[in-house]
Amino acid sequence: MTAARAQKPSHAPFTLMKLPYEASALAPVISDETVGFHHGKHHKTYVDTLNKLIAGTEFEGQSLEEIVKATAKAQDAKTKKIFNNAGQVWNHDFFWNSLDPKGGKPSAKMKELIESGFGGFEEFKKKLTETGVTQFGSGWAWLVFENGKLGLEKTPNAENMLSAKPGAKALLTIDVWEHAYYLDYQNKRPDFLGAVIDKLLNWRFAEANLG
Ligand code: MN
């Protein structure tokens, strides 16, 4: 590794992000065990695989966001694989930051946007839960900011707003892959979503992402 590279930690080799809280801090909504597997195994594997795939390629000098954007519409198998892993690393970094052990209560500004966008928190919760539940198979439910108001989106697999809808700014995401909830909620994805929305959403992070 060159000295120049070492000064650019946002480029390859990427490292697994450190959780902004203790692994046990999200319990009982998300157990220590789930966080351990999800962050320590699933998320880490995406980071390790991405580093292997981009070694010696043009992507080695790019930031994670640049790699996601550059590979989003890839047609060939190897570049698609790079996108899948880069997207997963980006999404998981964003997901852990979307959670806060002391979360759940929107800031004044976000509360106002929720009122004008959805008519109230309960309606927002219902619609975000629906969004996550109707994502068929694996993927993500997103709170986004687009054209001056809040909106909801869902994406499959490793897709996110950078790849699927660049006009929408991601504010928060919830991982709805089974590995995110199966140990704690089995097949009850709506219960997982409801509990995360009620108790863990990091509204300070959402507000900061408004830009
Ligand atoms: Mn996941």
Provide CATH code, domain 32-97.
Answer: 1.10.287.990
One fold for 32-97 and 108-208: no
Q: Is the pLDDT of residue 5 over 70?
A: no
Residue 4 has pLDDT above 60, yes or no: no
Q: What are the tokens at 34?
A: 């789930």
* Distance between Cα 183 and ligand 1 center (Å): 13
Q: How far, in Å, from the CA of 87 to the mean position of ligand 1?
A: 11
Residue 82 near residue 74, CB atoms below 8 Å: yes
CATH topology for 108-208 is minor pseudopilin epsh fold (3.55.40)
pLDDT at 177: 97
- Which alpha helices (H) appear in 98-181, and where do they start and end? 108-118, 121-133, 161-164
Predicted local distance difference test score (pLDDT) of residue 10: 78
- The predicted pLDDT at position 211 comes to 87
32 Cα to the center of ligand 1, angstroms? 15
Cβ-based neighbours of 167, under 8 Å, separated by 6 or more:
146, 147
pLDDT tens by residue, 115-172: 999 999 999 999 999 999 999 999 999 999 999 999 999 999 999 999 999 999 999 9
**Contacts (Cβ under 8 Å, ≥6 apart) of 152:** 127, 128, 131, 141, 142, 143, 144
What does the domain layout of the chain look like in residue ranges?
Answer: 32-97, 108-208
Separation of CA 84 and ligand 1 centre (Å): 12
pTM (predicted TM-score)? 0.94
| pLDDT for 2 beyond 70 | no
CA of 158 to the centre of ligand 1 (A): 9
Burial of 139 (0-12, 13-18, 19+ CB in 10 A): buried
Statement: residue 6 has pLDDT above 90: no
Residues 71-96: pLDDT tens digits?
A: 999 999 999 999 999 999 999 999 99
Backbone angles phi and psi of 150, in degrees to 5:
-75, 150
Distance 19 CA to ligand 1 centre (A): 14
Residue 179 pLDDT class (50, 70, 90 cuts): very high
